[in-house]
Structure 1
Amino acid sequence: MSDTRHPPARFNAARYCIGENARLRPEKTALILVGDGTEARLTFGEVDRAVRSIAAGLLRLGLRPGDRVMIRMGNDADYALLHFGAMAAGLISLPSSPQLTEGEAAFLMENSGTAAVALAGGCAVDPGALGGRIVLDGAAIAALKAGEPLADYADTAADDPAMLIYTSGTTSRPKGVLHGHRATYGRRPMLDHWIGITEQDVMLHAGTMNWTYTLGVGLSDPWAVGATAVLYNGSRDPGVWPRLIGRYGATIFAAVPTLYRQILKYGDLPSHDLRSLRHGCTAGEPLSVELLDAWTAATGKPLYEALGMSEISTYISSGPTIPVRPGSPGQPQPGRRVAILPVEGPPEPLPAGESGLLAVHRSEPALMLGYWNRPEEEAEVLRGEWFVGGDLARFDADGYLWFEGRNNDLMKAMGYRVSPNEVEVVLGAHPSVAEVGVAELPVRADVSVICGFVVLQAGATPDAEALLTWCAERLAAYKRPREIRFLDALPRTANGKVQRKRLAEAV
């Protein structure tokens, strides 16, 4: 499945994930959705029928190819069916989080020009923001599923828009990332080289339906190979994940690093049967060497990391074909065109060992079509034939990537540019440290110092001097933090990423 050539000119992402499975294995379980004492199962034949019925119903309501369908629902199977149903009809799916406020949801509807809103699961919407939009409540969604299905999936072009993802901004309004149907095909290198998934696998994903990590790794990727997906929508308890692995014979588990840490702390791993599990996958935030070592020691199972972004999903990883190198997220997946470009100057790839901006070639089929109605921001991320997302990194002589933070996160100390990532790796290796973020801390109107913002391990005693000494033994003088601040938790985005710019505010 590692072929990264472009898909056929006529290509529909929903047909790719569902239609072929319905033809080849209609009775096989496609999805198991587990709740508190509940379980729902759908076969590929049932998913195919529901998706084509939803697609036909949406078109009967007057929607036309290219219209946006916003999904504002709880974490249930209908979320996924509507997502794929919209794409099956040639419409654009707009997944959104049920945690959005009414104002945030109103902005997405207005900015995207949403034509229809699927509204269920207790998610509120400001009635004044609905305008003339079609509203699909629970009863309407049930009627769509019960209706006559489309005879076939929409005959879309690979470059036709399929999904609009709004990124979680920290200082401004979210921006829409528009993906074509080809983006689902462009995920193929992940299947062999990060996830390592085949038709025989059972994928357990710890995310919720609204998250593109879940819609991709939790559903699209297993369905692309005919595997079974298991998702959970019950009460949040770190101990539930090892129980689910044992109960359903999950062979692959996917989550963010923070959840792996919680499972190690609260999941009582020795009391669960993890023999079916082949490996874990993780993305969304850096995987520390300490956590990697702790997980493999406790389970005996590999943990494979990936680096990606909303604009292209994951493209750097370790995995079954790429050995883990602790501290690095891995190598470019075979078939990807990835380079390090100078921060300034012509976009000519740099040699191994030199730091610069991580870039992906614009020919990559997984790359976004563009930002929704923001051409000026598209211009900022395109340099010649390369897409540049703002990550600073370098490749070593063996082709492993070493992530050095965001370009605008770089700190200035003693005339040197210092990557917060480098300092975080050192501080995070201290046995008393559970989590860490590093940023500049203003100490006077014109003076800032490097500061480590630390969440301690349970039972550890705050000792700033010990941490400063630890860093002094492992970092050059200009890279060392001058201050340590202790926090109960690090400020994070909705997707779990540390917000370095807010660290000083959290003290």
Structure 2
Amino acid sequence: MNNKPWLQTYPDEIPSTLTYTNQPVQDYLKMAANENPNRISIHFMGKEFTYQQIYESSIKLAGYLQELGIKKGDRVAIMLPNIPQAVISYYGILMAGGIVVQTNPLYMERELEYQMKDSGAIAIITMDILFPRVTKVMPKTDLQHVIVTAIKDFLPFPKNLVYPFIQKKQYGIVVNVKHEGHNHLLTEILKQPTRSLKEYEFDFEEDLALLQYTGGTTGFPKGVMLTHRNLVANASMCKAWLYKCKAGQEVVLGILPFFHVYGMTTVLILSVMEAHKMVLLPKFDVETTLKTIQKQRPTLFPGAPTIYIGLLNHPDLKNYDLSSIDSCISGSAALPVEVQQKFEEVTGGKLVEGYGLTESSPVTHANFLWDRPRVKGSIGVPWPDTDSAILSLETGEHLPPGEVGEIVVKGPQVMKGYWNRPEETAETFIDGWLLTGDLGYMDEKGYFYVVDRKKDMIIAGGYNIYPREIEEVLYEHPNVQEVVAAGIPDPYRGETVKAYIVLKEGATTTQEELNEFARKHLASYKVPRLYEFRDELPKTAVGKILRRALIDEEKKKTNDHIEKQA
């Protein structure tokens, strides 16, 4: 107890340790269907699906995947937004014995090719409008099969007839894929009889359920190996934290993308584990979200600060009833106190900040939703079965309360390691502690605070963005001599990407040209919003570009501007 002072602050309803059933993730969908077959699992744009329907569709997909040759341990990618097919795909892959590789639908060919090569995925489930992108990278990867679906496939009548015209207007393309050869249509798969599945023995603690890609400034994204135990443990912790929520009675707003580990755990897995109803939105649009909240009356709303900020800043906010919202845990970036307070005033619910990282499935800390006073500026306390400490950057020793060092964590939700990267895995752990790369401190009561990031990763709008990836692309521009990307303060996104450019002697280019070039190779959220052309960049004596010096310059500009306004 003395080594974990936060346990003294736990409400009686939250146990300090939990019991985990040794069942793989996919078993929870089977249980939900067996126990609540007619309960609504998904609401999607006016159409609803029961747990029995989702389970049966997942079983059909699993049998088809096995017939294609998918066996235990094979990697199968999902490149979909939050639509019913994403849920079916996720559980279908696991039922087949595969390992899910979550892939961002915004990825361009370069990014997609890298992830498919690194994971060794042999099949991918994607949308019709992304099919051309996937087919271009297939010859360079191990991909053998593409399963294609369309948003219209799961829409109610007459939306399913109208949507293709909307899609054509929005994207300018119509893609028709035939169910033949290496191309497969999910609609055709789900029409087929259910096949008997080959059963595999699962090792709850060792077998992987997921490769979730993350990265750093020293290299390209890495596949975080998350086991069935990792994911089940973190969802179980979330269930314990939300102790006032009732099984099967909550409505969960699914805006956080499932290809992000936070959305996958707190919306997808937790909802199925508790047989809640998920209201899915394929993308975040402020007005659509407000209308959905008013009509569908969600009670749980996991989100990111930019989502809450976007809703609060809508000019017609007062015309919408958001009073159904009871509980929200914000992740992915720091939650401004004023946003928290205003959102609670508008909804009457509770919004608290949590903390985690992909390597921990992802949540490790959170503030209490109920029965405890708010602690300003804190990321909260460690979750059940989770240990955390502050290590000295100089000595590696544990630091006492109040002293700043690196935040480290232990717990059953912590990853097995990085896919095919034993050296980087070893560097990320010290004496069993996962190094988060974040600098912070703990107070006397066990509340943790983040003060800075040791890593140079940029978090913009809840997305993790890795500077080196941006720099690699911009270095390919024929007129660029030197480039460094950095995250600078942004009142809406938390941070935004700025690129500092030194052009080759005699060369000329514009911000517009660089922007167009970057958009051909990077997902839109990674593309720099700002460019600054310089004669030279700040460097160390050995020629290393000082990214931190540029960030400090920007912070000083921001502070000077604030002081002038004051």
TM-score (ref. length: structure 2): 0.70
Residue 56 (structure 2) aligns with: 49
Structure 2 residue aligned with 1:102 = 109
2:37 is matched by which residue type in structure 1?
P
Match of 2:227 in 1: 180
Q: Give the corresponding residue for 1:33.
A: 44
- Helix, strand or coil at the partner of 1:175: strand
Where does structure 1 lack aligned partners over 5 or more consecutive residues?
A: 411-426, 455-461, 472-507
Report how many residues are paired.
435
Task: Report the CA distance between 1:373 and its aligned residue.
Answer: 0.6
Q: Which runs of 5+ in 2 are unaligned?
A: 1-13, 150-178, 458-487, 501-535, 541-545
| Aligned partner letter, 1:405 | D
Q: How far off its partner does 1:15 sit?
A: 0.7
Q: Are residues 262 and 7 of structure 1, via their aligned partners in 2, closer, same or farther at CA, if it must alter by over 3 Å? A: same
- 1:342 partnered with 2:353: no
> Deviations 1:456-479 (Å, cap 9, x if unpaired)?
xxxxxx9964524689xxxxxxxx
- Among 202, 213, 227, the alignment partner of 1:156 is 202
Cα 1:436–1:207, aligned 2, differ >3 Å: closer, same or farther?
Answer: closer
**Map 1:112-191 → 2, pairs under 5 A:** 112-123=119-130, 124-125=133-134, 126=136, 127-130=138-141, 133-138=144-149, 139=179, 140=184, 141-145=186-190, 146-150=192-196, 154-158=200-204, 159-167=206-214, 169=216, 172-187=219-234, 188-191=236-239
Contact 2:75-2:101 at 8 Å conserved across structures: yes
1:401 correspondence with 2:413 = no
Judge conservation of contact 1:436–1:452 (CA < 8 Å) in 2.
no
Aligned counterpart, 2:98: 91
- Contact 1:341 1:359 survives alignment (8 Å): yes
Q: Is the CA contact (8 Å cut-off) linking 1:316 and 1:329 kept in structure 2?
A: yes
**Who is 2:376 aligned against?**
326
1:48 is displaced (CA, Å) by 1.3
Instruction: State whether residues 393 and 404 of structure 1, in contact with CA within 8 Å, keep that contact through their aligned partners in structure 2.
Output: yes
Instruction: Tell me: CA distance 1:156–1:376, structure 2 relative to 1, closer, same or farther (3 Å).
Output: same
1:295-329 CA deviation, whole Å, 9 max, x = no partner? 22333332121101001111110133554322112
Rounded to whole Å, the distance in 2 between the matches of 1:438 and 1:60 is: 46
Classify the secondary structure of the residue corresponding to 2:49: strand
Alignment-derived partner of residue 409 in structure 2: 360
Q: What's the counterpart of residue 206 of structure 1?
A: 255
Q: What CA distance in whole angstroms lies between the structure 2 residues aligned with 1:266 and 1:195? A: 32
Cα distance, 1:153–1:327 mapped onto 2, change above 3 Å = farther
Q: 1:269 to 1:196 in 2, by over 3 A?
A: farther
Say whether the 8 Å CA contact 1:358–1:392 is kept in structure 2. Answer: yes
SS of 2:346's equivalent?
A: helix
Instruction: Label 1:91 to 1:132 Cα distance change in 2 as closer, same or farther (>3 A).
Output: closer
Q: 2:524 — aligned with what?
A: none
SS at match of 1:167: strand
**2:116/2:142 contact within 8 Å kept:** no
Contact 1:391 1:406 in 2 (8 A): yes
Q: Distance in 1 between matches of 2:299 and 2:125?
A: 33
Q: Any idea what SS the aligned residue of 2:354 has?
A: strand
- Map 1:229-308 onto structure 2 (within 5 A): 229-233=278-282, 236-266=284-314, 268-308=316-356
* 8 Å CA contact 1:2, 1:334 repeated in 2: yes
Equivalents in 1 of 2:494, 2:358: separation in Å?
Answer: 24
- Note if contact 1:280-1:302 (Cα within 8 Å) is conserved in structure 2: yes
Cα 1:465–1:197 shift into 2, 3 Å: same
Q: Distance in 2 between matches of 1:390 and 1:299?
A: 34
Check whether the contact 2:253–2:278 (CA below 8 A) recurs between aligned residues. yes
- 2:81 is equivalent to residue 69 of structure 1: no
**1:184-235 deviation digits (Å, cap 9, x = unpaired):** 221111223268643211111222343322222121112111211111126x
Offset at residue 4 of structure 1 (A): 4.7
CA distance in 1, matches of 2:305, 2:389: 26
Paired residues of 1:357 and 1:391 also in contact (CA < 8 A): yes
Could you say what secondary structure the match of 2:376 adopts?
A: coil
Give the CA deviation at 1:251.
0.8
Q: d(CA) in 1 for partners of 2:228 and 2:398?
A: 29
Counterpart code for 1:379? A
Tell me the amino acid that sits aligned with residue 32 of structure 1.
H
Letter of the structure 2 residue corresponding to residue 13 of structure 1: V
Shift of 1:344: 3.3
Distance 2:244 2:128 in 1: 34
Distance in 1, Cα, partners of 2:497 & 2:406: 20
For 1:22, the equivalent position in structure 2 comes to: 33
Cα deviation per residue 1:110-156 (whole Å; 9 max; x = unaligned)? 11111212233311222422556222234532343333144697541
After superposition, the CA RMSD in angstroms is 3.2
Cross-structure match for 2:473: none
Report the residue type matching 2:294 in the other structure: G
Contact 1:12–1:153 (Cα < 8 Å) also in 2: no
* 8 Å contact from structure 2 (residues 357, 363) kept in 1: yes
Aligned identity (percent) is 25
Write out the 4+ residue segments of structure 1 that deviate beyond 6 Å after TM superposition.
438-447
Per-residue CA deviations over 1:249-279 (Å, capped at 9, x if unaligned) read 2111122101111111116332122232213
Q: CA distance change for structure 1 residues 93 and 465 in 2, over 3 Å: closer, same or farther?
A: closer
Contact 1:30 1:44 in 2 (8 A): yes
Specify the alignment match of 2:553 in structure 1: 451
- The residue number in structure 2 matching 1:413 is none
- 1:413-441 per-position Cα deviation (integer Å, ceiling 9, x unaligned): xxxxxxxxxxxxxx99xxx9656659999
Q: Which residue of 1 aligns with 2:512?
A: none
Partner Cα separation in structure 2 for residue 316 and residue 132 of structure 1: 38
- The one-letter code of the counterpart of 1:108 is Q
